[in-house]
Amino acid sequence: MDTGPVNSATNHLRPTRIGVFGGSFNPIHNGHIRAVNLFMDRLRLDETLLVPSGAPFYKRTYAVPFEHRYRMCQLAAQELPGVSVSDVEENHVSGMYSCDMLAAVKRLHPDAELFFLVGSDVYERVPVWKGIRRIAELATFAAIVRTGNAGAASRMFTLTETAELLKKYGARTVFIQGGRPLSSTAVRAEAEQRRSLDGLVPAVVADYIREHHLYAREGA
């Protein structure tokens, strides 16, 4: 298990390093953007793929279709060098298991070294996922950890235990320090009331949400 940055390789023959960041992105927000930037820097990634899920993980009446979530990711990615958006889950309206999603990415990038980028809350649930051994074969886990709060040390201990547990499946984990709390739920709550999204999402995403009246409650 690693807890620090991955050293950059000077060998030009090293495989392309690709981060795979999946999620509902409902909507993509500045917490995601900060995480992507940290992953890109600390892991020395050549590319990061944002992979919107075929269906939102959290089913709510204000969930928006894939095409809107995909487009918002595209708009955000325009301002992030080395970041692009994958549509591998577009036709999977019920979503895909992570092992199948990573396998689909690997088929598109057979020679790349994959890093599966997740938040620490997601990482804690990994031991009960389907296809853990397959995921471990396909990618290295990279989990971003929030710092600077009262429970940080306790949380890190729990995450380290999870990493040790996953080793029996052959999984390798890198922890990236520096995550900050922000959720899509909080962004939707602001959008629902038609309040400003400044500082919560990229400006181009805020404009898109307003233009398409996403999340807004009628009468708000």
User: What's the pLDDT score for residue 96?
Assistant: 87
Identify the pLDDT of residue 21: 98
pLDDT in tens, 51-88: 999 875 455 544 689 999 999 999 999 999 999 999 99
Identify whether the C-beta of residue 176 lies closer than 8 Å to the C-beta of residue 44.
no
At 8 the pLDDT is 45
pLDDT of amino acid 4: 54
What global pTM score does this model have?
A: 0.89
* The predicted structure's pLDDT at residue 13: 74
All residues at 6 or more sequence positions from 118 whose CB lies less than 8 Å from its CB, including other chains: 126, 141, 142, 143, 144
Sites in the chain below the pLDDT cut of 50: 8-10, 57, 61-62
What's the confidence (pLDDT) of residue 122? Answer: 92
What is the pLDDT at residue 219? 52
Distances from the Cα of 101 to the Cα of 43, 60, 161, angstroms: 21, 23, 26
Contact of 175 with 145, CB cutoff 8 Å: yes
